[in-house]
Amino acid sequence: GKSVHLVCVLKGGVFFMCGVEFYSKSRYQEWLDKLSDSDPLKAELEAIKGDDKEIEDRFYQDLSFGTAGLRGKVGAGTNRMNFLTVGKASQGVADYIVSKGKEACEKGVVIAHDPRHFSKEFSQLAAGIFAANGIKVYTFPDLRPTPELAFMVRRLGTVSGINITASHNPREYNGYKAYWDDGCQVSSDVADGMTEKINAVDIWTGIKTSDFDEGVKSGKIVVLGAEYDREYLDKIEGMAIHEGDELDLSIPLVYTPLNGCGSIPFRQMLTDRGFSNWKIVPEQENPDPDFTTVGYPNPEDPKAFKLSEQYGREFGAELLMATDPDSDRFAIEIRDDNGNYIPLNGNQTGYLLVNYVLEGRKDAGTLPAKGAMVKSIVTSTLSTIMAKAYGIEMFETLTGFKNICGKIPYLHENGYTYLFGYEESVGYAVCEDIRDKDGISAGMLVAEAAAYYRKQGKTLWDVLQEIYAKYGFFAEDEPNMVLEGIPGAQRIQRMMKWFRENIPTSVAGAKVEKVIDYINGYEDIPAQNAIRLFLDNGSWFAIRPSGTEPKIKFYFYSNRDSRENALETNRKIKEEIFGLIDSVE
């Protein structure tokens, strides 16, 4: 499955053919030869004959499997999501489970899917493969949120979980998230074991399959009933901090599921909690794999709130809320003093949630003597200051909720009570029984907080300004550069290599005091391709390639005597770093 980098050179140094191009064309021809004439994948490949660049992009590598599972564009090719690549991955995961013994097979796998193109079909394919390999399968009658899938792994006691989803990626993408028995996405060790089995599967002859409907009839595949959805919602609603007369439940709200999985559970949650004055964006209420009215379905992008803002103005909404297509990410816009909708970044929403949990727990007398919160290494340190003020310890982990929620067993073993976990990319883990980010529970607490403060005559905007005034005027900026395809991936590698070899001694007039390079791990944090620099003016920034998208990501944080000065300091640091990194060709 790995590309062979061979180069034939003629006299004078003229390249005749590079190994990647030859390798891609040979695999392309193999697929043409082996696919049946009736297979739509063959017609798709026939249509790109002669397009060397497209052939290379589709075949230069196998779609890589890692701790985030698979993620890629839907289409024909080894570097695409299709029935062959999903089948190969499912067979490999099945082989890994079988290698763990009979008990693992009996515990089984729970499978869910989102509304994307081929998600349901891929999920049924995976279910049929697991069943054919003697593994018990649980699935849902229709699309479900990723956090519900994560919850069900532990609730049902399965050995693994699979969700067919590309989360917030553009419509061309799909993905394959894999979970293990702790309810978290698979660790590096498990992912490596699965990858070894996947690589050993012959994509043409090595996949055992069975019919999904026959599996349901025979009992090898169990379709879960509505009572399990109710358990998930009960678990979320049990995380309420304030209820009843403490809340102004008439607060006007607007919610959009961005045509994803959140529509039914989020609406049910609002109804259960007694919110009486809310509206869902009608054009984005139902599943739409093309995300026609939103384009890029990432609530982290303020453009995703265009329709929400329109309805919010008509409705007089104080709070706009959105979840991404698989409902694990959650973002908001709130009204400022002038009545304008202001998009909050993931850090700012995190400040509100950290503040609400700590303040509410203290007022209720339920703040534990040894409490803990968890954030990623690229998330603002303002929340660490806030936690410390309440006597709560903030732990840092690598990015991703397999790491954030993966810290929970350690906390339990060391006598801590888990209170909250989050990262800047609009992901929040409210409930320790749901070992992944959860947009439904985060939405419940934010709506509850808005209703609680409204009862006190305050808005979330007021509370955010109070947080800055009390704990420090921070600025947060998380830009990224999208660099797609082979050239993009290679350029990202060059950028990281160049920066490591050219660490600046000062940035925007501030001295670099400390550098942490996580490439080989740091203290108790495992290895990740990330670098973090701390400046003597209280600012810091980090750089890392995305693990799931063709991006290099940047994180800038400054703490000054006013929000305006913090933003200006951040701007200067970002401008200088982008000038350096963008010069790398």
Residues belonging to the active site: 167
181 and 158 Cβ atoms separated by less than 8 Å: yes
Residue 214, helix vs strand vs coil? helix
How many angstroms separate the CA atoms of 552 and 543, rounded?
A: 7
* Residues 237, 239: Cα–Cα separation, whole Å: 5
What is each CA distance from 521 to 193, 478, 529, 556, in whole angstroms?
21, 23, 9, 21
Q: Give the Cα separation of 91 and 200 in Å (integer).
A: 10
Measured in whole angstroms, the distance separating CA 321 from the mean position of its chain's CA atoms is 17
What secondary structure does DSSP assign to 373-414, as a single string?
A: EEEETTS-THHHHHHHHTT-EEEEE-SSHHHHGGGHHHHHHT
And the tokens for 549? 């998208």
CA 356 remoteness from chain centre? 23
Asked if residues 443 and 310 have their Cβ atoms less than 8 Å apart, the reply is no
Q: Are strands 160-164 and 137-139 parallel, antiparallel or unpaired?
A: unpaired
Q: Judging by DSSP bridges, how do beta strands 137-139 and 221-223 pair with one another?
A: parallel
Cα separations in angstroms, 392 against 241, 358, 415, 429, 577: 17, 9, 13, 17, 34
Task: Name the residue type at position 225.
Answer: G
Cβ-contact 542, 510 below 8 angstroms: no
Looking at residue 290, its amino acid is D
207: left (phi over 0), alpha (psi -120 to 50) or beta: beta
Helix H or strand E segment including 174 = strand 173-180
**Structural element, H or E, at residue 16:** strand 15-18
Burial of 501 (0-12, 13-18, 19+ CB in 10 A): exposed
